[in-house]
Amino acid sequence: MSAARDCSFLLGPAQPLTALDLQTFREYGQSCYDFRKAQESLFHPRESLARQPQVTAESRCKLLSWLLQVHRQFGLSFESLCLTVNTLDRFLLTTPVAADCFQLLGVTCLLIACKQVEVHPPRMKQLLALCGGAFSRQQLCNLECIVLHKLHFSLGAPTINFFLEHFTHSRMEAGQAEITEALEAQTLARGVAELSLTDYAFTTYTPSLLAICCLALADRMLRHQHPMDLRLGEHPEASLQDCLGKLQKLVSINSSSLTHMLPPQIWERCSLAQSWK
């Protein structure tokens, strides 16, 4: 598991849902879920470091920890962070990367992800400045073209963020949780999911499995009366319990980081918080 990291950004509470949000989910939610779930295996990079002679799980963790800080500095969405990690891991499956180019690959993947989902993506000049002038604009442009070519311009991966939102809507629509309770669980689950993105051990789990387990762990920590129905994701029981166990260990190791990633009112309610003080 990755060591505890300094995370100064506070994840804000999930945005209030409107009647239109729920109506849209009733009409299109299940169709969107079925489509994204069917795509999941096509975009899931397994053992992305297997053919990397210079990139290790530790260097991956360090790069993603730095990218998390960059992500927070620009105030980007969780969706763009998930897409960044997915693009990075999928590219690592295709091409050996030199250690001195790994940071450039990280900002390139972030730029590609932001162009898909952000209204105002970071500028190349801003990203290059964060690298201390180690790389040129031309190098970034060239690597962007290489990444897009290697991934065949196939970029719309199903993400943990998508499945977190879907399962949150599903439990509310089924009357399994009040809106406030469901959104609190989603906020906490998003913090747990962010921790898992930097840890190479969690690349073996699909985004939908991670999402539902993050929500289940969040319910447990918040002592909710109506916990997440794990059957919603249609995952094998053994996989669910394995993932849940590793997530709980990850949260325990990174508790100091998680306290800074969450709104105080949510962290104070966590049942595990007292044992970590």
The CATH number of residue 225's host domain is 1.10.472.10
| Domain annotation covers residue 10 | no
User: 121: domain range?
Assistant: 51-150
Count how many domains the chain has: 2
| Residue 191 CA from chain centroid, whole number | 9
SS3 category, 39: helix
The answer for residues whose C-beta is within 8 angstroms of residue 170's C-beta and 6 or more apart is 29, 232
Of the candidates 77, 45, 80, the one whose C-alpha atom is nearest the C-alpha of residue 202 is: 45
Within this chain, do residues 272 and 185 fall inside the same structural domain, yes or no? Answer: yes
The pLDDT of residue 225 is 80
Decide: 270 and 188 in contact? Cβ < 8 Å. yes
Within this chain, do residues 182 and 122 fall inside the same structural domain, yes or no? Answer: no
Within this chain, do residues 63 and 104 fall inside the same structural domain, yes or no? Answer: yes
Within this chain, do residues 270 and 244 fall inside the same structural domain, yes or no? Answer: yes
The pLDDT of residue 23 is 73
The pLDDT of residue 275 is 41
The answer to whether the pTM exceeds 0.95 is no
CA–CA separation, 112 and 144 (whole Å): 7
The pLDDT of residue 26 is 77
Of 106, 127, 150, the residue at which a domain comes to its end is 150
The pLDDT of residue 82 is 96
Q: What is the pLDDT along the chain (277 residues), one digit of tens a residue?
A: 333 333 333 334 444 555 556 677 777 888 888 999 999 999 999 889 998 999 999 999 999 999 999 998 999 999 999 999 999 999 999 999 999 999 999 999 999 999 999 999 999 999 999 998 899 999 999 999 999 999 999 998 999 999 999 998 888 877 777 778 888 889 899 999 999 999 999 999 999 999 999 999 998 888 888 788 888 778 899 999 999 999 999 988 887 777 767 776 676 777 654 444 4
